[in-house]
Structure 1
Amino acid sequence: MTFNRHDYPNDLLLRLYRELLKPRLIEEKMLILLRQGKVSKWFSGIGQEAISVGSTLALKPDEYILPLHRNLGVFTGRGVPLGRLFAQWQGKETGYTKGRDRSFHFGTNEHHIVGMISHLGPQLAVADGIALADLLDKEPRVTLTYSGDGGASEGDFHEALNVAAVWQLPVIFLIENNGYGLSTPSNEQFRFKSFIDKGPAYGIEAVQVDGNNVLEVYHTINRLAEDLRQNPRPVLVEALTFRMRGHEEASGTKYVPAELLQEWATKDPVENYEKWLLAENILSETARVQTRETLKQEIEKGWQESEAAPAPTPDDARELADMYAPFAQPESNPPADGPAPEKRYIDAISEGLKQSMERFPELVLMGQDIAEYGGVFKITEGFMAEFGKGRVRNTPLCESAIVGAGLGLSIRGKKAMVEMQFADFVTCGFNQIVNNLAKSHYRWGQNADVVVRMPTGAGTAAGPFHSQSTEAWFTHVPGLKVVYPSNPHDAKGLLCAALADPNPVMYFEHKLLYRSLSGPVPEAYYTTPIGQAALAQEGSDLSIITYGLGVHWALAACKEMEIKADILDLRTLLPWDSAAVGRTVRKTGRVLILHEDTLTGGLGGEIAAWIAENCFSSLDAPVRRVASLDTAVPFAPPLEAGFLPQQRLREQLRALRDY
């Protein structure tokens, strides 16, 4: 192995040595502790340390790095205290996730590190968002994110590189090509010769380095980072390396040919660099021994500190509270100086979005066709001219990458609104929402200040892929908030509240109401409290609990059937207002739960169960549910009318009233 010092001073070369040796010595101790049962699982990076160490030291301390399983050198290179690091691996209270997650599944803003989730690919898009924030703020920084060769087969890899290329984001995508995805060799993962072949296809520069040569890695990343700070753009770096141990220790390496292990053993990054330093008289034998002893003492001290740390104690209140970033919605009521003007549902949404853009200069809008075109429903028409293309951004067709970028913006202190062109398309970004946005605060205290707007619902003869009600997919996910306004006043107020809230909010807006429903909407900025239901109508015969278009179905049916009902508009589906539900149930004793979503697994089942558990003695009749058929949404208008619950609503109301 040939080392080129590039006129770097000895103190830098020796620092690289110490930082290269440190994760190796930690790993050697961890493997012993794993066999002793003091660590539950270990992903070894032995043989790959030069990549983490060289790239980390090449960046500035305030530039973010997004590592993977085998990047211990990132954490040690950034000076993460070993006591806390070991406590993290043990699941101790003093670990970065308080025992809620393991390994490197955590982040630390203090050290500008964003840890992975198990799905491997999503952090690449988060890097895009961090880099976008720096670009918008005109901060000359780069962001570095890692991917393995196996993880690069995921769609997130393509989406993140494509977005970075289109937006010219200063991201270094570092691919650790170690030849295997767990046990699957490269020739069963992909057919191209090397990852640098991918760069030109995305219109980006691609560089290949010897991933076992710490000086080559350092020099390459250092040179690229200096350039990217001045000339922002993404770069793909392929680091050729090898994993000397199993994917994780239980996997072993029996699937690896013995001669391949022997070949790569001669390329050990620590041994080769140490030999070169000794040969060049940069490192003395005495200093070599002393360095190892000093590091071992530091490691042992950190281990003893973590051993003494307490195990986490279950605390239901704390666990529930930590799912969300603390936030108290400030009172924001519009001035009552005369009647509010009538506005369409769609115009109320647009106005709330515009006023929030004025109120929060850190808010960035992202979505397909939302800039010059104004979105397919024209909600953001004129926004780009007023706020600029930096804050009103057309995106490629890549829902996962854009949601991930929203989290990256949050990490840099910004807000994001992501528009799904149709709620049906959210499936392409589902993982980012339920595993990244929803869990980030619980796992490591990082809020996800992202609102995902969801044009939803049937009634427009748009068929199975533009008409689905998808809200129940998200009401099952702690860490998210889910709102669904039924009228223009709440459409504006709830959107303003969602954009003010630092937590991830799924905002559902019914397409059929866009231009068909008008109502009074104050001109001034205001918020409608998230988590509070409201009575759309009061009555004593029975209670209808519903939301969205269901409110209007209920109003029409009760008027036609001359039923005096409490019609409770939930408005927020997570967290839903159990106190308001309890009040109306105890008032009337007869309850029907109505929603457009299909019956099985819908939110109505959860509310019905809660009523049975908490209000059984107040009931004068069984709780009834009315919903759409348990089918896909059909296209033809007669079939769609049969799918939706209006006719069944009348039948069930009659049965409930007469019970």
Structure 2
Amino acid sequence: MSTTISENSSLKYSSTKLSESQKIDLYKKLLKPRLIEEKMLILLRQGKISKWFSGIGQEAIAVGVTASLSNEEYILPMHRNLGVFTSREIPLNRLFSQWQGKASGFTKGRDRSFHFGTQEFKIVGMISHLGPQLGVADGIALANLLKENNQITAVFTGEGGTSEGDFHEALNVASVWDLPVLFCIENNGYGLSTPTHEQFRCKQMVDKGIGYGIEAHQIDGNNIEEVFLKVSEIAASVRKNPRPVLLEFITFRMRGHEEASGTKYVPQELMDSWALKDPVVNYENHLLEKGVLTQEEIRQFKADIKQEIDVNLDIAFAETTIESIESEELRDVYKEYNYQEVKPGNDVSNIRLIDAISVGLKQSMERHENLVIMGQDIAEYGGVFKITDGFVEAFGKARVRNTPICESAIVSAGMGLSINGFKAVVEMQFADFVSSGFNPIVNYLAKSHYRWAEKADVVVRMPCGAGVGAGPFHSQTNEAWFTHTPGLKVVYPAFPYDAKGLLATSIEDPNPVLFFEHKALYRSVYQEVPADYYNLPLGKASLIKEGKDITIITYGAGVHWALETLQKNTQISADLIDLRTLQPLDTEAIYRSVQKTGKAIILQEDSLFGGIASDISALIMEHCFEQLDAPVKRVASLETPIPFAAALEKNYLSKNRFEKELLDLLLY
């Protein structure tokens, strides 16, 4: 179903569907962001704010949509949606402090303009990459469905953002899962300076809903009454009958993408024609004409709002400039998590690594009723490695969810679930495929707590590693992509006991965790593992062997390669450290061992340059230099993609070079 409007439709207001008090309320809500913007443009020219993204000409959309939702329903706005924030009645001094990078804002000076969220006002702000917030809206809406609270979610994007893959992924997921999301597209004619005919060839945005089976409506985005009435009607329907709806709002941006870019690329006749459709001026004239307001009342409204602006600006300007306190900066990267040990019971069984992960995941599902698992083929099929086999029967399809092939939207949906009170585990079918979901992991999950104190309670499971003849696209061990990113935790167990306990903690922890599971170890490594639920602390390495001559530092499959080498060379007296977690890294265990042995060799399966072995080597050089009796040695795989043929893969892997490098270092 879709409805459209004529491009040349004039602003025609309803005179009977709204009471006079409703009309006045809409007018005041429309007026407030306009007057704030006019003041901001003055301050920008005075150099008192650094940047401004103007929504002049588009206010009716933000105001109308927000007025149509309850204050408990989440809205995900863009940088031109000031009306969302003012309609939710966020204190202006906090908004002004946010734009000035002051502490009373919402990001402690760590981000600018509208790149913030606030649980208090149920607003989730954008990131500059635009697209991921559409998937986040999916996750928030999924949480609402699971809560059965009959709430909807509204998310904004511009017509330019509809070209991003995240847009298409998010619409597809919302359609397949019948998620109560209003996808609000502000079609203002230009993506920065690129006109719509250079962005897409469909006639109108509503056409983009057709392929996803999504109901779509086109609305005059400059007509506040049409926006409010139409969205209110649709919202009421979606609350009763959950489903996604695409809303295309026809509007125009009267100023540049941001003020520095100007509008010289816009034909003057186009600017003139849209100026006649100004949403504030037209509605004001309508209310005057109908006798709903008088000139004196309008003058008083404007005077009151301007006074409110000035008073709150004074508060914001009087606030001291924020200062960097390094301990606070570092502390706020992660949400505080107080690990509480759950000790294992005495009942044990000899199981494989894959069994330990499956049992551990199942026990976490039992322990956390708000935990949702998402991934490709994980439901009835049980996943390509059968880790979730039987989970649908145990927990139902609401919590064990097959996904379309769209890693970015599903990672983003995990973030949305977290925002709305759930925990999420996302299974990458293979760790290699995480590249398709890389953006929301490193830019959304990793940065949210630092930016606006919002947790990202998401675990991304990563079946990884070579040695199984899977070739370049199914064999990577890509942990270094994520250990480089502040805000993420990275776990990489080598044994069933550790895998089960560390997975439990990763799910308990409200911070984003990348949980690496080596495919070659899934069915080849057995261990006595407690049957009951237990956990293990992150950031604590395991000292598997003790010796005096050398320290071997490794993780994942490298631990087993090192054990094989030591079993073959019984004369070597070595400390063997299994890192288990790479972020946080147990530097204390590393330093303690190296200071004792005087020699260190670091073994990783990943290729050498830029891998975590390089950072560990640098840390040892910086902190243990005086105790070293030889250079720190790194052993890694070839600087090539991972080959398929057995002979090529064998030569690629660092396993086959480790013994020689170890013996050479001992002789140094």
Q: What TM-score range do you get, normalising by the shorter chain?
A: over 0.9
Which amino acid letter does the alignment assign opposite residue 422 of structure 2?
Answer: K
1:561-586 C-alpha deviation (Å, 9 max, x unpaired): 22221110000101100000011101
Question: Structure 1: which amino acid aligns with 2:533?
Answer: Y
- The alpha carbon displacement at 1:254 in A equals 0.4
Where does 1:273-422 land on structure 2 (aligned, <5 Å)?
273-335=283-345, 337=346, 340-422=348-430
Counterpart for residue 457 of structure 2: 449
Aligned-partner Cα distance in 1 for 2:377–2:438: 21
Q: Kindly provide the CA deviation profile for residues 622-645 of structure 1, in whole angstroms up to 9, marking residues without a partner as x.
A: 100000011100111100000001
1:648 corresponds to: 657
What's 1:627 paired with? 636
Runs of 4+ in structure 1 displaced over 2 angstroms? none
Report the Cα offset of residue 435 of structure 1. Answer: 0.4
Report the counterpart of residue 578 of structure 2 in structure 1: 569
Q: Which residue of structure 2 aligns with residue 256 of structure 1?
A: 266
- The answer for the alignment partner of 1:586 in structure 2 is 595
Q: 1:184 and 2:194 equivalent?
A: yes
Partner Cα separation in structure 1 for residue 16 and residue 101 of structure 2: 43
Secondary structure, aligned partner of 1:256: coil
Give 1:432's aligned residue: 440
SS in 1 for 2:156: strand
Query: How do residues 465-484 of structure 1 correspond to structure 2 at under 5 angstroms?
Result: 465-484=473-492
How far apart are the structure 1 equivalents of 2:385 and 2:456? 26
- Residue 8 (structure 2) aligns with: none
Residue 240 of structure 1: aligned partner: 250
Deviations 1:275-295 (A, max 9, x none): 000000111111110000000
Separation in structure 1 between the aligned mates of residue 210 and residue 46 of structure 2, nearest angstrom = 48
Residue 506 of structure 1: how far off its partner (Å): 0.3
Once the two structures are superposed, the pairs formed by residues 123-134 of structure 1 within 5 Å of their partners are 123-134=133-144
Aligned to 2:504: 496
**Aligned residue type for 1:520:** E
SS at match of 1:160: helix
Alpha-carbon shift at residue 610 of structure 1 (Å): 0.5
Q: Paired residue for 1:156?
A: 166
2: CA distance between counterparts of 1:519 and 1:310? 58
Q: How many angstroms apart in 2 are the aligned matches of 1:314 and 1:233? A: 45
The amino acid that maps onto 1:112 is K
Match of 1:512 among 517, 520, 524: 520
Structure-2 separation of matches of 1:209 and 1:4: 14
C-alpha RMSD of the superposition: 0.7
Deviations 1:68-88 (A, max 9, x none): 010000000000100000000
1:311 and 1:509 map into 2 onto residues whose CA distance is 46
Match of residue 149, structure 2, among 136, 139, 151:
139
The alignment status of 1:220 with 2:230, answered yes or no, reads: yes
Distance in 1, matches of 2:15 and 2:434, equals 50
Where structure 1 has 5 or more consecutive residues not aligned to the other structure, the ranges are none
Equivalent position of 1:560 in the other structure:
568
For 1:639, the equivalent position in structure 2 comes to 648
Q: Say whether residues 1:229 and 2:226 are aligned partners.
A: no
The verdict on how the C-alpha distance between 1:653 and 1:226 changes in structure 2, with shifts beyond 3 A counting, is: same
Tell me: CA distance 1:593–1:12, structure 2 relative to 1, closer, same or farther (3 Å). same
Secondary structure of the residue aligned to 1:250 is helix
- Percent sequence identity over aligned pairs: 62
The superposition leaves residues 105-146 of structure 1 with CA deviations (integer Å, 9 ceiling, x where unpaired) of: 000110000000000111000000000000001010010000
Deviates more, 1:306-315 or 1:82-91: 306-315
Partner of 2:626: 617
2:131: which partner in 1? 121
- Per the TM alignment, residue 6 of structure 1 is displaced from its structure 2 partner at its CA by 4.4
What does the per-residue CA deviation read over 1:500-559, in whole Å, with 9 as the maximum and x for residues that have no partner? 000000000000011111001101101111010011111112110000000000010111
The answer to whether the 8 Å contact 1:94/1:310 transfers is no
Q: CA deviation at 1:647?
A: 2.0
Q: Alignment partner of 1:147: what SS?
A: strand
Say which of 482, 485, 491 aligns to 2:493.
485
> 2:341 touches 2:536 (CA, 8 Å); kept in 1?
no
TM-score normalised to structure 1 length: 0.99
- Please name the residue that 2:5 is paired with: none
- Post-superposition Cα deviations, 1:467-498, rounded to whole Å, max 9, x if no partner, equal 01110000001110000000000010010000
Secondary structure of the equivalent of 1:521?
strand
User: Deviations along 1:424-482, whole A, 9 cap, x unmatched?
Assistant: 00001100000000000000010000000000000011000000111000000111000
Partners of 2:175 and 2:133 lie apart in 1 by 16
1:650 to partner: Cα distance: 1.0
In 2, the alpha carbon distance for the partners of 1:545 and 1:5 equals: 75
Aligned pairs for 1:102-113 within 5 A? 102-113=112-123
Contact 1:53 1:74 in 2 (8 A): yes
Deviation at 1:347? 0.2
Matched, 1:205 2:215: yes
In the alignment, is the contact (CA less than 8 A) between 2:496 and 2:526 conserved in 1? Answer: yes
Structure 2 unpaired stretches of 5+: 1-10
Give distance in 2, aligned partners of 1:438 and 1:48: 32
**Which residue does 1:4 correspond to in 2?**
14
CA-to-aligned-CA distance 1:183-208 (integer Å, 9 cap, x gap):
00000000000011111211010000
Distance 2:122 2:655 in 1: 53
Displacement of 1:178? 0.4
Report the counterpart of residue 81 of structure 1 in structure 2. 91
Tell me how far apart the structure 2 counterparts of residues 225 and 647 of structure 1 sit (CA, whole Å): 62
Q: Distance between the aligned counterparts of 1:314 and 1:639, measured in 2?
A: 51
Amino acid at match of 2:492: Y
TM-score by length of 2: 0.98
Determine helix, strand or coil for the equivalent of 1:352: helix
How far off its partner does 1:5 sit?
3.8
Q: Deviations for 1:563-612, whole angstroms, at most 9, x for unmatched residues?
A: 22111000010110000001110111110000001100000000000000
Match of 1:596, SS state, is strand
2-structure distance, mates of 1:229, 1:567: 58
Distance 1:541 1:446 in 2: 46
Deviations 1:356-395 (A, max 9, x none): 0000000000000000000000000000011000000000
Contact 1:344–1:514, Cα closer than 8 Å, also in 2: yes
Distance in 2 of aligned mates of 1:58 and 1:605: 54
| 8 Å CA contact retained: 1:536, 1:551 | no
Task: Please state how far the C-alpha of 1:4 moved relative to its aligned partner.
Answer: 1.2
Partner SS, residue 329 of structure 1: coil
